[in-house]
Amino acid sequence: MNSLPSLRALQVFEAVGRFGGIVEAAKRLGISAGAVSQQMKLLEDTLGLSLTLKVGKRIRLTAAGQRYHDSCAAAFESLRIAQVEVERSKNASNLRISALPSLLSDWLAPHIYAWQDEHPELNLFLDGSHAEPSPEGYDIDFRFTYGDYVATENAIELFRDCVVPVCSPWLLRPDVLLNKPADLLAYPLLSIDWLPKFASPPSWRDWFKAQQVDCESIRDGYRVYSLSAMAIQAALAGQGVVLAQYSMVADALSDGRLIRPFARALPLPSAYFLVGAKGAFDKAHCRDFHRWIVARGREQMVINQRLLA
């Protein structure tokens, strides 16, 4: 077969499979049952293959029909998503942001909400993802990411974070006083491991060695999280002590949900970067947001540098 079947026939077939029959598909598509049957016959004639079989008064997909439907359904879902993105891109009041999940939930989102409060006419679309968007794509305005980027016209270093030990005040035991860093060894230590996507933040071994504490007996794999936000939530739930990015726990520290038993911090190996998509700076609200969020990043950098001093 050198050409694809009729797009209309494929659309009808996808509806038949999704809604479980000809009559229901006809209702959803707003056409007659006869028109659905005609399109189904056209598709089967084109393919040279039966896609359905009758079971009593109903029809169901054959094994080959089900496999073909799975592929058709995925294709139509991609088309529906693409259409939504096109509609979004035409709306000048949209601000579309992609960011690493933990950075988005624990640092970026509160700042963005404050920005939107000052610009209530804007629509926000927030995508938490490790996948880097295509630089030629139209689906995002800004990407917040991490790593060894080179600053360019569209990419700027936002801030370099640092990690500090934090835990819930409910975790502390009266029989274990935290007078020196070595005392943390008596508590469960939660770890964060970003490999292989990114170089992981400083480990507990790194932190204890920086405090000149013998940590040969430390248990490396007690509880290891791939997302910083998950590890921080575990600490909030009293599951242990975590070396958390300060930017992501500052609010919880200020309101007492977390405490910092020791103030000693270690820097992350790389920085967070803000990357503007092609064409983003053509829009006034994107330029304004860029200036505003870069200023927030500079403020965070000053705080982190004080912790490392």
How many residues in total does the chain contain?
Answer: 309
Cα–Cα distance, 188 to 171 (Å, whole number): 10
pLDDT in tens, 78-108: 888 777 666 655 656 789 999 999 999 999 9
Structure letter (DSSP) for residue 241: E
**Burial class, 113, CB count within 10 angstroms (exposed 0-12 / middle 13-18 / buried 19+):** exposed
| Helix, strand, coil tally for the chain in percent (to 5) | 45, 20, 35
Instruction: Report the pLDDT averaged over residues 151-169.
Output: 91
Instruction: Report the pLDDT averaged over residues 267-278.
Output: 91
Task: Please tell me the predicted confidence (pLDDT) of residue 90.
Answer: 60
SS3 call for 97: strand
- What's the pTM value of the predicted model, to 2 decimals? 0.69
Lowest mean pLDDT among 152-166, 213-227, 245-259, 265-279: 213-227
Q: pLDDT averaged over the chain?
A: 88
Q: What is the CA radius of gyration of the chain?
A: 27
Predicted confidence band of residue 182 (pLDDT cuts 50, 70, 90): very high
> Has residue 45 got a pLDDT over 60?
yes
Instruction: Report the pLDDT averaged over residues 209-222.
Output: 83
Task: Please tell me the predicted confidence (pLDDT) of residue 148.
Answer: 78
Q: Is 240 left (phi over 0), alpha (psi -120 to 50) or beta?
A: left
Task: Please tell me the predicted confidence (pLDDT) of residue 92.
Answer: 65
Domains, in order of start, for the chain: 7-89 (1.10.10.10), 94-160+270-308 (3.40.190.10), 162-267 (3.40.190.10)
Q: Distance between the two ends of the chain, CA-based, in angstroms? A: 70
Predicted confidence band of residue 268 (pLDDT cuts 50, 70, 90): very high
Task: Please tell me the predicted confidence (pLDDT) of residue 138.
Answer: 52
Task: Please tell me the predicted confidence (pLDDT) of residue 20.
Answer: 85
Task: Please tell me the predicted confidence (pLDDT) of residue 79.
Answer: 86
Instruction: Report the pLDDT averaged over residues 150-174.
Output: 90
**Burial class, 249, CB count within 10 angstroms (exposed 0-12 / middle 13-18 / buried 19+):** buried
Task: Please tell me the predicted confidence (pLDDT) of residue 93.
Answer: 78
> Has residue 48 got a pLDDT over 60?
yes
> Has residue 136 got a pLDDT over 60?
no
Instruction: Report the pLDDT averaged over residues 1-27.
Output: 86
- Comparing 24 with 220, the larger pLDDT belongs to 24
DSSP of 123-148:
EEEEEE-SSPPPTT-SS-SEEEEEES
Cα–Cα distance, 112 to 288 (Å, whole number): 12
Instruction: Report the pLDDT averaged over residues 32-61.
Output: 88
Cα–Cα distance, 107 to 104 (Å, whole number): 6
Give the rounded percent of residues in the chain with a pLDDT score beyond 70.
94
Instruction: Report the pLDDT averaged over residues 130-138.
Output: 69
> Has residue 123 got a pLDDT over 70?
yes
Instruction: Report the pLDDT averaged over residues 248-260.
Output: 96
- Comparing 240 with 221, the larger pLDDT belongs to 240
